[in-house]
Amino acid sequence: MSISHLSPNSSALEEGAPAMEGSFVSAVQLTKQFGEHKAVNDVSLDVAKGEVISIIGPSGAGKSSLIRCLNLLEVPSSGRLRIGDATVDFDTGTPSKASVRNLRNYTGMVFQSFNLFPHFTALKNVTLPQMRVHRRSKAEAEERAMQELKRVGLESKAGAYPAQCSGGQQQRIAIARALAMDPQLMLFDEPTSGLDPEIGAEILQVMRKLASDNMTMLVVTHEMEFARHVSNQVAVMVEGSIIEQGPPEQIMTAPNNIRTQKFLSAVLGR
Amino acid sequence: MNDFAWLYDWPQYIPDLLPGLWVAIAMTCVSCLFGYVLGFFLALLVEAPSKLVSYSALVVVELGRGIPILVLLFLFYQGLPQLGVLLAPYPAAVAALTFSAAGYSSEMIRAGLGAVPKGQSEAANSLSMSVVDTYRFIVIPQAARISIPPLVNLTIIIFQATSLATVITVPEIMQQAGIIGSATFEYMSVYTAAAVLYLCITIPGAALSGYLEERMGTPKQRSKKQAIKALLPAAGKLRTAEERQLTN
């Protein structure tokens, strides 16, 4: 079941998007198998540059597995994946280290549990990966880090350790850490699920800003408001497959699939 | 009266035993250094994806942990010559202590590595950091906080175990004490002096380990401890000291 599309309202397309088959990310028939269980089952997905896609669905549907497949934290069992110029074919065995690195360099990821490095200050969390991976000098990395911390409104927390920051602050630092690596695709794995709603709102605010800066984003979320108002596309995932995908208004108000209707009526309470 | 002479008599034997103390300390340092490095690599090998590698490493670890040091000493000193490997007493003792230290430490190091949440290396991966960098900057520093206190304890145990090397004629404290004892028959005094020398190292060592355990807790654990201390009025002084440290 392959749902390909081109986003009609993506302004980034006209601007600087590479003229490669229209899409920036193209996953073809990705499958991730854990033993007998297919967490991701034959999923195809295209994302245009600058597009924001929300992936919704019941827990255990394979949403997290899917986006973890996109930066190869989980190596898919079969299928093909292209991000920008990096292509990996999983049908031909384990991908090489170089191809994994190429692909990952395009992506940044934000986790549900933040995963900041607890033994480093916020600033060092953001500078160390830049220095080790992009070989930036300390001064260069720090300048960039402060830029990103400012972007998430936390330049005052640069010297603080993660344990001295609130959950919402930690998540914003994690976003800054990912952004400082110049990703062209941001993956969000339930970024607000570990936070109370009020704090979650400040994360969503940062993500809104990113979206309006034309960042390409894939967001696994239970925040229906965000899915509806920020994303260009909503994909509904059930039992490892994307059963329906379309503009948020259509999915939210007039879903075609009976299981989408069931899921939405459960989460939206109607 | 004579029966109690040892109570004030023993300090005079300390100077004669000091050369033995240096030998014991040197043996401890060398065997722990080699042992913990070996233990670190054994820990990595036990976690290796290949079953063959993993099980072979585990066999080495279990031999190191399971065979008493006294048996190892005899094996290396008296057993190996039969196979054509002739070791002098000191190297034989160091080899036996190293082997044992490697076995025990590898499990402590493995526990430390295993206690670092999986999300830490996943985050490093997602930032394109290499495997070596991920271990060097992210996993090992956090694992060390967990592994170092038990490793300090193990060092104290290895130091005490150097006393066994007397059976293969290494001139450490017990060897010296035995020689003096058989010449003077002042066994009570001379062995008391020996015991005091061991205690001079082990008691500060235990205190260090306790301090490190307190110090090296992750920031989260530290604040949990603080919360407990806050409930105990007597710990008021300690609490302010820690708070000062935290705000620094």
d(CA A218, CA A227): 11
CB-nearest to A119 from B122, B130, B141 is B141
pLDDT tens, B88-126? 999 999 999 999 999 999 999 999 999 999 999 999 999
Here the ipTM equals 0.87
Sheet strand arrangement including A37-47: A37-47, A25-34, A78-83, A86-89
Interchain proximity A107–B145, CB inside 8 Å? no
How many domains does one find in chain B? 1
Q: To probe the interface with B, which of A104, A106, A132, A184 has the most B CB atoms within 10 Å?
A: A132
What integer pLDDT is reported at residue A245 of this predicted model? 93
Contacts of A73 in chain B (CB under 8 A): 122, 125-126
User: Is B139 inside a domain boundary?
Assistant: yes
Interchain proximity B220–A71, CB inside 8 Å? no
Interchain proximity A163–B122, CB inside 8 Å? no
CB-nearest to A133 from B117, B129, B138 is B129
A125 touching chain B per CB within 8 A: no
Mean pLDDT of B73-93: 93
Which chain B residue has its CA at the smallest distance from A174's CA? Answer: B123
Beta carbons of B141 and A124 less than 8 angstroms apart: no
What integer pLDDT is reported at residue B217 of this predicted model? 60
Contacts of A129 in chain B (CB under 8 A): 124, 127-129
Mean pLDDT of B124-150: 94
Mean pLDDT of B198-202: 94
What integer pLDDT is reported at residue B214 of this predicted model? 81
What integer pLDDT is reported at residue A17 of this predicted model? 38
User: Taking CB atoms and an 8 Å cut-off, how many pairs form between chains A and B?
Assistant: 66
CB-nearest to A111 from B119, B141, B223 is B119
- CA distance between the termini of chain B: 59
Residues with pLDDT less than 70, chain A: 1-21, 270
Which chain A residue has its CA at the smallest distance from B220's CA? Answer: A163
Interchain proximity B138–A161, CB inside 8 Å? no
Interchain proximity B127–A71, CB inside 8 Å? no
Tell the burial category of B116 from Cβ atoms under 10 Å away from its Cβ (0-12, 13-18, 19+). Answer: buried
Beta carbons of B61 and B103 less than 8 angstroms apart: yes
Three-state SS for A138?
helix
Q: Taking a contact as any Cβ pair under 8 Å apart, which residues of chain B between 41 and 80 contact chain A?
A: none
- Nearest alpha carbon to residue A236 among B44, A248, B216, A169: A248
B121 touching chain A per CB within 8 A: no
> Is residue B48 pLDDT above 80, yes or no?
yes
What integer pLDDT is reported at residue B242 of this predicted model? 45
List A236's β-bridge partners, or say none.
Answer: A56, A244
Contacts of B219 in chain A (CB under 8 A): 118, 161-164
CB-nearest to B122 from A115, A161, A164 is A115
> Is residue B225 pLDDT above 80, yes or no?
no
> Is residue B37 pLDDT above 80, yes or no?
yes
Three-state SS for A136?
coil
User: Is B234 inside a domain boundary?
Assistant: no
What integer pLDDT is reported at residue B6 of this predicted model? 81
Q: What is the 3-state secondary structure (H, E, C) of B38-76?
A: HHHHHHHHHCCCCHHHHHHHHHHHHHHHHCCHHHHHHHH
User: Is B227 inside a domain boundary?
Assistant: no
> Is residue B248 pLDDT above 50, yes or no?
no
d(CA A154, CA A148): 9
Interchain proximity A119–B124, CB inside 8 Å? no
What integer pLDDT is reported at residue B234 of this predicted model? 42
What integer pLDDT is reported at residue B2 of this predicted model? 63
What integer pLDDT is reported at residue B63 of this predicted model? 96
Supply the CATH number for residue B165's domain: 1.10.3720.10
> Is residue B21 pLDDT above 90, yes or no?
yes
What integer pLDDT is reported at residue A21 of this predicted model? 53
DSSP-derived secondary structure for chain B: -GGGTHHHHGGGGHHHHHHHHHHHHHHHHHHHHHHHHHHHHHHHHHT-S-HHHHHHHHHHHHHHHHS-HHHHHHIIIIIGGGGT----HHHHHHHHHHHHHHHHHHHHHHHHHHHS-HHHHHHHHHTT--HHHIIIIIIHHHHHHHHHHHHHHHHHHHHHHGGGGGGGT--SHHHHHHHHHHHH--HHHHHHHHHHHHHHHHHHHHHHHHHHHHHHS-HHHHHHHHHHHHH-GGGHHHHHHHHHHHH-
What integer pLDDT is reported at residue A246 of this predicted model? 93
What integer pLDDT is reported at residue A97 of this predicted model? 87
Beta carbons of B78 and B89 less than 8 angstroms apart: no
Q: Calculate ∠ Cα B71-B74-B79, nearest 5°.
A: 120
What are the tokens at B123?
């985050």
CB-nearest to B137 from A101, A108, A128 is A128
Residue B34 CB contacts under 8 Å (≥ 6 apart), including other chains: B94, B98, B101, B102
Domain boundaries, chain A: 109-183
User: Is B128 inside a domain boundary?
Assistant: yes
Tell the burial category of A118 from Cβ atoms under 10 Å away from its Cβ (0-12, 13-18, 19+). Answer: buried
The residue range of the domain holding B100 is 14-217
Share of chain B above pLDDT 70, in %: 86
B245 touching chain A per CB within 8 A: no
Q: pLDDT-derived band of residue B199, with 50, 70 and 90 as boundaries? A: very high
A166 C-beta neighbours (distance < 10 Å), count: 12
B210 C-beta neighbours (distance < 10 Å), count: 13
What integer pLDDT is reported at residue A94 of this predicted model? 85
